[in-house]
Structure 1
Amino acid sequence: MKLWYGPPALRLFVGICFLVFGAIGMLVLMASFVPAWQATHGGGRTGTFTLTEFEGCDRFEPPVQRCGWFGDFVSDDGAEVRSRQRLAGGLPKGAQAGETLPARAVGGPGLIYQLDDTKGLGQTVSFLAGFTVIFVVGLVLSRPWRFRAWLRSRSSRPVRA
């Protein structure tokens, strides 16, 4: 790897960029990991989700293609009503506004999960693992464990006049 043998300043800069990018990604995904975990393992309140606004479809072809929807959630006991929520994971193409489906609210920010959603957690874990790898690569490139030795070597050098 050319970067490893390159100038130390470049390696340090790239390592710090990887550290920052990986840390931000890990923090954001940790915030979405907990609701996805709860939804996959039956947490939260069950109810119905009524489709109100179509958001668009992803780039895949129809067997795999998912379309995003916004809608209104009402819990089974009627105690929790949330409007303009996003359906996590989307639906296959062909859903219409006004349709209802069983759903689960776990307290996440603006997300409602389908009652049988099991893919949301796996996707979150995959992205979390990816950002963790980026963070570790940043650690290896920046080598923070050598910073103290570098400071000592700088302080022991004679001062140029």
Structure 2
Amino acid sequence: MDRINDWRLKFFLWIGLPVIAVMGLAFAAPDLVPAWQAKSGGGVPGTFTAVSEQCGRRNCSWYGDFVADAGGAARKHVLLYDAPDGLARGGTAPARDTGAGKGVFAAAGGSTWLLVTGFTVAAALAAVGWVVLVVTTVRRRRRDAAAIDRLAGTPVQR
């Protein structure tokens, strides 16, 4: 840690790590358990009806309504994670509601669980790394201050 002189590395360590930690834990961690439940076939089975498609640069996402097979209140304007290819407006797909905040999961499965797990682990590692950096820096500064005080012959204040 004593050799961290490059300003870009300092910026990443002091600003980037906490931002990665907060963003990952805020956005990915809440959907970690629902994604794993969907991967293992858990949740409430039902039908997703595609209403609108939103596309970005590399992929498109389907939003629509989910109705459980057992009845109950429908979830309106939810995202279908792992949407099957060929889904069109008005089309339906079997899905599972596992309690994810923004959507339901396609019953056929997909890789969303892996993506959510990866982001959550990266966020946790960034948080741990930042805490270690802060603790190491504080200890080093206290040690350096104590050494300066010893050399100067003045008592150490803590």
| Range of TM-score over shorter length | 0.7 to 0.9
| Greater relative contact order structure (CA < 8 Å, 6+ sep) | 1
- Report how many aligned residue pairs link the two structures: 149
Structure 2 alignment gaps of length 5 or more: none
- Please state how far the C-alpha of 1:30 moved relative to its aligned partner: 1.4
1:88 to 81, 86, 92: 81
Code of the residue aligned with 2:90 in structure 1: it is: G
Aligned to 1:107: 99
| Helix, strand or coil at the partner of 1:73 | strand
- Please state how far the C-alpha of 1:8 moved relative to its aligned partner: 9.1
Aligned to 1:21: 19
Given the superposition, is the C-alpha separation of residues 11 and 139 from structure 1 closer, same or farther in structure 2, using an over 3 Å criterion? Answer: farther
2:66 to 44, 49, 73: 73
Indicate conservation of the 8 Å contact 1:51/1:69, yes or no.
yes
Given the superposition, is the C-alpha separation of residues 14 and 101 from structure 1 closer, same or farther in structure 2, using an over 3 Å criterion? Answer: closer
Code of the residue aligned with 1:128 in structure 2: it is: T
Code of the residue aligned with 1:21 in structure 2: it is: V
1:57-68 equivalences under 5 Å are 59=58, 66-68=59-61
| Helix, strand or coil at the partner of 1:5 | coil
Q: C-alpha separation between the residues in 1 aligned to 2:44 and 2:89?
A: 23
**1:92-132 superposed Cα distances (whole Å, 9 cap, x missing partner):** 2x432111111111111121110121311112222334444
- Structural RMSD (CA): 3.1
Structure 1 alignment gaps of length 5 or more: 60-65
Indicate conservation of the 8 Å contact 1:46/1:105, yes or no.
yes
Aligned to 2:43: 44
| Helix, strand or coil at the partner of 1:118 | coil
The question of 1:145 aligning with 2:136 is answered yes
Aligned identity (percent) is: 27
